[in-house]
Amino acid sequence: MRAVLKIGGSLLYDKDGNILVEKVRNYAVAIKSLVKDGHSLVVVVGGGIPARVFISAARDLGASEAQCDWLGIKLARNNAELLCAGLGDIAYPKIVETLDELEVAVKLGKVVLMGGLIPGQSTNAVAALAAETVNAETLFNATNVDGVYDRDPKESGAKRFDTITIVELKKVLSGGGTKAGEYKLFDSVAIRVVERSKIPTVIFDGRNPDNLTRIFLSENIGTRIVHND
Ligand code: UTP
């Protein structure tokens, strides 16, 4: 299938900001095996700890929100470069920076990698726009929680949704930040794009790269965003 995979940048760093090289390698291995099985992938990588660190320092120094966003965009592209290195020849060798460029790159049959696109959104929006552009069958979102919960998962009694509608998702995510580095699981651009193009989307626990293989085998892990016609 043609799919877009978003890998949360936070998955690729430990709490001190060191790169989890083995994790990047394991993602590369899992992606290679999916490609071998005939899947075609666009992979969007998030900014992770480096983005948060640079954005916070720049904000302290008086940078505008747009300047802070640009730092996040570039750092997400750097993270995508790391995965590109791990993928070797099966990857399109340049990190794609626009949706126009994406349309051309996917035609070459390689794994196409992206980081950020433009200020005012998160890499989840990039992933949603990429899925719309390449007409992806599914958008897979690997993150550091095992799905969408009806409240803060740390609260007792919190319940994970197996499936969720966009209306329910908007309710759960209301109150997400709008500043650089603070966009929550799904920012408003991502939600709007997923909603208007009815993109089947699965949010799953990406802390273990093996879950990527499991999710492609349609195992029931994570939360699936469903669309009513
Ligand atoms: P993300 O917040 O999407 O990174 O991008 P992330 O690491 O995936 O987040 P987690 O791990 O899921 O929590 C980093 C920052 O880059 C800017 C935003 O400021 C964003 O918070 N950004 C990213 C943009 O401004 N535009 C983009 O298209 C992408």
Interacting residues of 141 by C-beta distance below 8 A, sequence separation 6+: 6, 8, 124, 127, 185, 201, 202, 203, 204, 206
- C-alpha 85 to ligand 1 mean position (Å): 21
Residue range 71-105, pLDDT digits in tens = 999 999 999 999 999 999 999 999 999 999 999 99
Residue that wins the pLDDT comparison between 150 and 64:
64
Q: All domains of the chain, ordered by start, with CATH?
A: 2-226 (3.40.1160.10)
Q: Given this model, what pLDDT does residue 177 score? A: 56
The ligand 1 atom nearest the CA atom of 143: 12
| pLDDT (mean) for 112-119 | 98
Ligand 1 pocket, residue 147 CB under 6 Å: no
5: DSSP letter: E
Q: Given this model, what pLDDT does residue 151 score? A: 79
- C-alpha 216 to ligand 1 mean position (Å): 25
Ligand 1 pocket, residue 183 CB under 6 Å: yes
Q: Token digits for 54? A: 């640079």
Q: Given this model, what pLDDT does residue 220 score? A: 84
Residue range 126-179, pLDDT digits in tens = 999 999 999 999 999 999 988 898 877 778 888 899 999 999 888 887 755 556
Q: What is the distance between the alpha carbons of residues 213 and 223, in angstroms, rounded to a whole number?
A: 16
